[in-house]
Amino acid sequence: MPLSFPYVGTFTYVFESIARGMKRDDIIVPDEPTYRTKQLGSLHSSEFVCTPFKMLLGSIIEVIEKGAYEIVATVFVDYCRLGYYSPLYKIILDDLGYDFDLINLDWFNKVEFFTSFKKLACNVNAVQAFQAFRVGWIKNRYIDQIDKTLYSYGAVEIEKGASYNVAHKLYRQVVETEGMKNIRMLPEIIRKTFDDEVEIDTEAKPLKVGVVGELYAVVEPAINLDIMRRLNDIGVITETPITFTRWIDLGQRMNPFKKWHYKACIKHAKPYVRYPLGGKTRESLGAVIEYKEKGWDGVIHLYPFTCMPEIISRSILPQVSREHDMPVLSLVLDEHTGEAGIQTRLEAFVDLLERKKNDGNGF
Amino acid sequence: MILFLNLEVKAIKNPRRKIRVGIPRALLFYKFSDLWITFFEQLGAEVIISPETTKKIKDVAVRLAPDEDCYSTKLYFGHAMALKDKVDYLFVPRFGGRKKKYVGCPKFIGLAEVLRSMVPDLPEILMPHYNRGMDKHTRIGLLVRAFRLGKIITKNPFVRIRAISKAFKAQRFHNKSMIIDVKTLQKWENSEVILNDFPIYNENERQLKIALVGHSYVLNDPFSSLSIRSLLQDFGVDIVTSEQMPRNLIEKQMAKLEYDIYFDFEREILGTIMHFIESKTVDGIIHLLIFSCGPDSIAGEIAARYSRRNPTIPLLQLVFDELTGEAGMRTRIEAFVDMLRRSIDEKVIFLTEQVRI
């Protein structure tokens, strides 16, 4: 049965390599979401459900049309609507008359997680399946490394677009590398390739902006209109602490000495929001202070329209920004967000940051 | 003149003036009003509740509140502002859920902190945190929290304990009188009892029964639901609300689902709709949704899809926000009620036969 999954930013590469590691040759790799994906998703979902729901639904319909049967989804209880995605997709796609099977990976219910995982790994035994998963999380680190290098090289490259071409070549290389020995060589290769193939302007003094917010809004270029690249094009180094590492990287999770960025952020956010309320509310608030302490210039906060937890952080962010003298731009994204609007606001924000940096006396 | 002066001096000098606690009349107030009011009154505080929602409160709310919040949360800001200068403390609990496994809306937890951040000159906010769903607080933990909260009003531990026990008794009584049992529901279905206001029946018209489904803060707030209850009363429609539904019927419906509905208040909404779709004992269902309410967007979609699969009982879903016009809403409800009347009214069906030439 052909296996597939919705498109979620660069995490798609990680998933592809896990599936290939489990010797599933029948996987269908999803395409990047387009205008049609957004339209398909919003056509079949309720009016004010959050935008990631619509985008993922559109992506799932597209892969089913390409011939996929088994589709991987995730489900868990949280304060937000994420846990309803998979049941609701089942109802909606049943009504549309598609033939499919949703495989729910419930991370908080470990027994169910591994039974579903075994269902996916029908060609290999349990040890090999776990090994494939392990290779997946290790590759996830290197995908993150490529992202991080790309977002800083992209700002200072001399020939525009060079580092993006290099990055896309490297993503494929990471997916296709086999054997633990070769995989361990990857970080060195990534660093070298960027050094050799991208010519950078060493004189430039670029601004540094952190991007935080809701997971899907940050990692998926289709919903945030490729905000990282837009910022890079106006000469700003960006970074995001929001990746999938903290969930799937069991190796780092078991390491007691690992300093997690989000834990530091939550500590910072305690005076503003004391108790967990879902999403990345406390992390978004704390990240502003964390980036201030690191000496960065500003923070951009992204969240999809009607996201319940992030609206709370968006309401409190002005206070955090005022008290810590750190510029913050909150952007709400949905399927109708226009490119020109985002571009203008980013340029204005960067102009303000530049003036603040040069004058040193604030706005 | 002298008398007036004396009074003023007395008011300032008297240190034993009652502490005034303000509770906004919005969101969870409609669910736990008896608990909160009895608790603070028994402690010896003066409880001030914001007035019923008016246009003025709405205007203040819409101007102040974050743009993307749901309409009901926006109204909360208006109610809090109405209390601003009248009270010493504002009571905005951080409520995460009252049952294991189930959670409330995240906005209930964040509301107090958002208020504090957006309106810095508010009086001190009392924000006890209770979350049985995710943080695994125990029932005893709730009592301990209430005991600690009472310290602000009175230091006497016996008064506090008595206040807690009386408050929970009041809430239990409220729930008991609100939630009906299966027998009463059957009596209502057979038109033996009337659960809400008496509908105004017209002669020659069939009596209609409608299930009115929605959050308690929409059903019981005439302003945000555009007084839909009295409108239905005028049309001669007998209603049962989702608040009144027997819990065991709801849990029975929820057990049928393959997945868990983990939003606590959404269970009673979806359970009521599914019960009536299955039992077919009402003429129609009206589901009131609030714009950009997260849980509603999920429950509304599920309800709409189940109703479409099983289309015997008509389901009308109305979405409310601050721009909803009364005339448009009235027309739709009128049309819905007319449709229900005609659907079973045999005269109308015969009419088409009589027209035959």
Q: What would the 3-class secondary structure string for chain B be?
A: CHHHHHHHHHHHHCCCCCCEEEECCCCCHHHHHHHHHHHHHHHCCEEEECCCCCHHHHHHHHHHCCCCCCHHHHHHHHHHHHHCCCCCEEECCEEEECCCCCECCHHHHHHHHHHHHHCCCCCEEECCEEECCCCCCCHHHHHHHHHHHHCCCCCCHHHHHHHHHHHHHHHHHHHHHHCCCHHHHHHHHCCCCCCCCCCCCCCCCCCEEEEEECCHHHHCCCCCCCCHHHHHHHCCEEEEEHHHCCHHHHHHHHHHCCCCCCEHHHHHHHHHHHHHHHHCCCCEEEEEEECCCHHHHHHHHHHHHHHHHCCCCCEEEEEECCCCCHHHHHHHHHHHHHHHHHHHCHHHHHHHHHHCC
A131 within some domain: no
Token pair 């997945």 is at which residue? B259
In chain A, how many domains are there? 3
Comparing alpha-carbon positions, the chain A residue that sits nearest to B111 is: A312
Residues A10 and A112 in one domain: yes
Q: Of the candidates A81, A276, A332, which has its C-beta nearest B134's C-beta?
A: A276
Residues A82 and A192 in one domain: no
Residues A251 and A335 in one domain: yes
Structural domains for chain B: 17-177 (no CATH), 182-354 (3.40.50.2300)
Residues B272, B278: contact at Cβ < 8 Å? Answer: no
Q: For residue range B277-311, what is the model confidence (pLDDT) as tens digits?
A: 999 889 899 999 998 888 899 999 999 999 988 88
Angle between the A162-176 and A186-197 helix axes, to the nearest 10 degrees? 160
Binary contact (B309, A95; C-beta < 8 A): yes
Q: How far apart are the CA of A360 and the nearest CA of chain B, in angstroms?
A: 27
Residues A12, A27: contact at Cβ < 8 Å? Answer: no
Residues A257 and A246 in one domain: yes
Q: Tell me which residues of chain B, numbers 89 to 108, contact chain A at a CB-CB cutoff of 8 Å.
A: 94, 96, 101, 103, 105-107
Residues A210, A238: contact at Cβ < 8 Å? Answer: yes
Q: Of the candidates B94, B114, B258, which has its C-beta nearest A315's C-beta?
A: B114
Q: Which H/E stretch holds residue A237?
A: strand A236-239
Binary contact (B117, A272; C-beta < 8 A): yes
Compute the residue count for chain B.
357
Binary contact (B301, A46; C-beta < 8 A): yes
Q: What is the DSSP letter of A45?
A: S
Residues A232 and A310 in one domain: yes
Residues A193 and A210 in one domain: no
What CATH number does the domain containing A255 carry? 3.40.50.11900
What CATH number does the domain containing A83 carry? 3.40.50
Residues B283, B209: contact at Cβ < 8 Å? Answer: yes
Residues A281, A313: contact at Cβ < 8 Å? Answer: yes
Q: How far apart are the CA of B37 and the nearest CA of chain A, in angstroms?
A: 25
A109 within some domain: yes
Q: Which pTM value belongs to this model?
A: 0.90
Residues A199 and A216 in one domain: no
Sign of the torsion angle spanned by Cα atoms A149, A154, A159, A160:
positive
Four-CA torsion A108, A111, A114, A117, nearest 10 degrees: -80
Binary contact (B294, A46; C-beta < 8 A): no
Domain that holds residue A168: 136-204
Which tokens is A3 given?
Answer: 């296996």
Provide the residue type at B144 as one letter.
V
Please name the residues in contact with A58: beta carbons below 8 A apart, sequence gap of 6 or more. Answer: A33, A36, A37, A38, A39, A40, A41, A42
Q: What is the pLDDT along chain B (357 residues), one digit of tens a residue?
A: 444 444 444 444 455 678 999 999 988 999 999 999 999 999 999 999 999 999 999 999 999 988 888 899 999 999 999 998 899 999 999 988 888 888 888 889 889 999 999 998 999 999 999 988 888 888 899 999 999 999 988 889 999 999 999 999 999 999 999 999 999 999 988 888 888 888 888 777 778 889 999 999 999 999 988 889 999 999 889 999 999 999 999 999 999 998 888 888 899 999 999 999 999 889 899 999 998 888 899 999 999 999 988 888 899 999 988 888 888 889 999 999 988 888 765 444 333 333 333
Q: How far apart are the CA of A205 and the nearest CA of chain B, in angstroms?
A: 35
Q: For residue range B108-166, what is the model confidence (pLDDT) as tens digits?
A: 988 999 999 999 899 999 999 998 888 888 889 999 999 999 998 888 999 999 999 99
Q: How confident is the model at residue A46 (pLDDT cuts 50, 70, 90)?
A: confident
Residues A74 and A174 in one domain: no
Binary contact (B68, A306; C-beta < 8 A): yes
Q: What is the DSSP letter of A158?
A: S
Cβ-based neighbour number of residue B140 at 10 Å? 8
A130 within some domain: no
Residues A39, B66: contact at Cβ < 8 Å? Answer: no
Residues A333 and A211 in one domain: yes
Residues A253 and A150 in one domain: no
Q: Output phi, psi for A122, to 5 deg.
A: -80, -20
Whole-number pLDDT of residue B16:
66
A129 within some domain: no
Q: Which H/E stretch holds residue A104?
A: strand A101-105
Q: How confident is the model at residue A337 (pLDDT cuts 50, 70, 90)?
A: confident
